[in-house]
Amino acid sequence: MQKTERINTMMRYMNNRGVFTLHDLMTEFGISRSTALRDIREIETLGMPLEATVGREGGYAVMHNSLLPAIRFTDEQVKALFIAFMASRNQQLPYLRSRQTLAEKLLGLIPPQQQESLIVLNDLLRFPGTNTRNPNLLDLSDIAHPQLEKLIQLLLDARTLNLHLTSGSTFTLYVQHLFRDADTWQLVGLDVDNHAQRLIAVDDLVSASDADHQISTKTAIAWQNAAGPQQLIANLRQGAIHQFKKYHPQNAQLTYTHPYQATARLQLPIAEHENLDAAVNWLLFLGTEITLVSVPERLQTALQQRAAWIGEQGD
């Protein structure tokens, strides 16, 4: 990143956060302490008033934000934004009905000379789920479950929700994550009544509402720790890493433990009420270059049952 671009981006970073430290700037922009100090002095020279606080917890605060330059996109940034926007079409994402209005507003921010390349990209690129004859066609199957937008709005204010399912059951869930896996949106969290982890498909929801009593994150972590291991932890070698890259669940996390990505650590949350057949099938798909470190008891039992079944078929 060139210095001029870094300074402009840093000014917006400061303005968006209001309060920041030298360490924040060093981490965010990959610069040294001396460079961060020089950039701060230059930004102050440009007219952005900063207030410094001395001490261990000290940092900087932006006094006001009236001197920021107008937003300008480079050609590369415009293309990256546009392609990401195109790729999200027909993906059952929330707020899909707002796309047309958003597209017009985005184009309004872009100079006419940059719009020409976007027209070419729109004709050239196609993504999975896009109608090849009419890319702008929005099928009913493309629209996400109607409860999804309501869920997101609720979760912005509260993490503990009362859920009513199509099966007729009702319970309270502390929501840890909302994620999308294999074209299905899922809620994973802790059941407030039995402190067990649960996985709920958004498609199975009839309604959701804020719970009267909100559970704190600290309490939820304590429940999870008391319940024992709730996630699979395994070490992967190259063969298993290769298989992981072909396919993996949305909530699976891979952390490389070798500078050349020859080994890695896998973490996969296992919900209390989750159907484990898919997890067992996926672990077998990874192959033999995997070493299990920590396995929830339910998953261990399912793996043993599958191994016994395979042994019987071999006999």
How many angstroms separate the Cα of 260 from the Cα of each of 182, 223, 233, 237, 242?
29, 37, 21, 11, 13
Residue 27 has a pLDDT of 86
Q: What is the mean pLDDT of residues 11-32?
A: 86
For the chain, give the percent of residues with pLDDT over 90: 17
- Measured distance CA(11)–CA(40) in Å, rounded: 9
Residue 229 has a pLDDT of 57
Residue 141 has a pLDDT of 56
The DSSP H or E segment spanning 252 is none
- Measured distance CA(170)–CA(163) in Å, rounded: 6
**Considering only 16-20, 29-33, 133-137, which range has the smallest mean pLDDT?**
133-137
Q: What is the mean pLDDT of residues 258-267?
A: 86
Is the model's pLDDT at 186 over the cut of 90?
no
One-letter amino acid of 11: M
**Considering only 62-66, 171-175, 210-214, 246-250, which range has the smallest mean pLDDT?**
62-66
CB 196 within 8 A of CB 190: yes
Q: Which pTM does this prediction carry?
A: 0.58
DSSP code of 266? E
Detail the DSSP E strand segments found in 42-148.
Answer: 50-53, 59-62
For the chain, give the percent of residues with pLDDT over 70: 83
Is the model's pLDDT at 192 over the cut of 80?
yes
134 phi-psi bin (left φ>0, alpha ψ -120 to 50, beta other): beta
CB 284 within 8 A of CB 306: yes
pLDDT digits (tens, 9 = 90+) for 116-138: 888 788 778 877 766 666 666 65
Q: Which domains are delineated in the chain? A: 3-62 (1.10.10.10), 75-141 (no CATH), 148-226 (2.30.30), 231-314 (no CATH)
Residue 182 has a pLDDT of 63
Burial class (CB in 10 A: 0-12, 13-18, 19+), 119: exposed
Residue 284 has a pLDDT of 92
CB 38 within 8 A of CB 5: no
pLDDT digits (tens, 9 = 90+) for 195-208: 877 888 888 899 99
Average predicted confidence (pLDDT) for the chain = 81
Which residues are bridge partners to 53 per DSSP?
59
**Considering only 35-44, 66-75, 125-134, 146-155, which range has the smallest mean pLDDT?**
66-75
pLDDT band for 65, please (50, 70, 90 cuts).
low
CB 172 within 8 A of CB 161: yes
**Considering only 89-98, 134-143, 157-166, 224-233, which range has the smallest mean pLDDT?**
134-143
Start-to-end C-alpha separation, the chain: 63
The listed range with the strongest mean pLDDT (59-63, 140-144, 213-217, 286-290) is 286-290
Is the model's pLDDT at 160 over the cut of 90?
yes
